[in-house]
Amino acid sequence: MATNSAPAHSKFDLVDAGNNYPLQVLKSQRGFYLGTVDDEGMPFSRESAEYFRSHKAAENALNSGKWTRHSLSI
């Protein structure tokens, strides 16, 4: 289910104090997704459950808040 307001940062910000990685559109072989990168520019987390077909679709989801946060499995 899509969220009503777009979270601005990684779900790990609350868990790992000191991380302040803003959400952004990232690309993998499966498509575009919402996630974060670390201080070295490497992917840190996948935040969206969905993969999007285009950068624009992912960007629209991020800006509108209409996306589902990926559940954290440990």
Per domain, the residue ranges of the chain are: 11-64
Please give the backbone phi and psi of residue 39, each rounded to the nearest 5 degrees, phi first: -65, -20
In this structure, the dihedral spanned by the alpha carbons of residues 33, 72, 68 and 62, taken in order and rounded to 10 degrees, is -50
Give the torsion sign (CA, 69, 74, 12, 43): negative
CA 33 to CA 48: how far, in whole Å?
Answer: 6
> Do the beta carbons of residue 37 and residue 43 sit within 8 Å?
yes
Q: What is the pTM of this model?
A: 0.76
The model's pLDDT over 9-44, given as tens digits with 9 standing for 90+, comes to 565 555 554 677 889 999 999 999 999 998 899 998
